[in-house]
C-alpha cells in the first residue's frame, strides 16, 4: 500500500482535492468510474464527480468517457509530473 494523500487531506475549495481525483483516474485506468475513484481517494461519489468537473472547467482537462469509465484525453494546462511532485505521490 502506498502512502499518498486523499481527497479529505486538503481543505474544502483547495485545488489539490481536484488533483487527487484526477491522478486517481490516471492510476485506475479502465476501472476509473466515479465509484472507484471515490473509494480510492476517500470521498463520496458526488465529491469525486465535482472534483473531476472542476478540473475540466478550471484547468482545461478533457475526459473521454466510455460508459461510466473516465479516461484522460488531455491534461489541459496541467502537467502530470508536476501534480505528482506537488502532492508527493508515490509514482505507482
> For 25-83, what is each residue's pLDDT tens digit?
999 999 999 999 999 999 999 999 999 999 999 999 999 999 999 999 999 999 999 99
- The three-state secondary structure class of 78 is coil
pLDDT for res 89: 56
pLDDT for res 3: 76
pLDDT for res 33: 98
* 10 or 90, greater pLDDT: 10
**pLDDT at residue 1 above 70?**
no
The topology under which CATH files domain 7-87 is Arc Repressor Mutant, subunit A (1.10.10)
pLDDT for res 92: 47
CA–CA separation, 89 vs 5, rounded Å? 7
Q: Domain locations in the chain?
A: 7-87
**pLDDT at residue 16 above 50?**
yes
The three-point CA angle 53-91-40 to 5° equals 45
Amino acid at each position: 500500500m502506498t502512502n499518498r494523500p486523499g481527497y479529505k487531506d486538503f481543505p474544502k475549495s483547495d485545488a489539490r482535492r481536484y488533483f487527487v481525483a484526477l491522478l486517481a483516474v490516471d492510476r485506475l485506468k479502465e476501472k476509473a468510474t466515479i465509484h472507484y475513484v471515490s473509494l480510492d481517494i476517500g470521498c463520496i461519489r458526488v465529491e469525486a464527480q465535482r472534483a473531476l468537473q472542476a478540473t475540466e472547467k478550471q484547468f482545461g482537462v478533457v475526459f473521454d468517457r466510455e460508459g461510466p469509465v473516465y479516461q484522460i484525453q488531455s491534461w489541459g494546462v496541467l502537467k502530470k509530473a508536476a501534480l505528482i511532485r506537488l502532492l508527493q505521490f508515490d509514482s505507482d
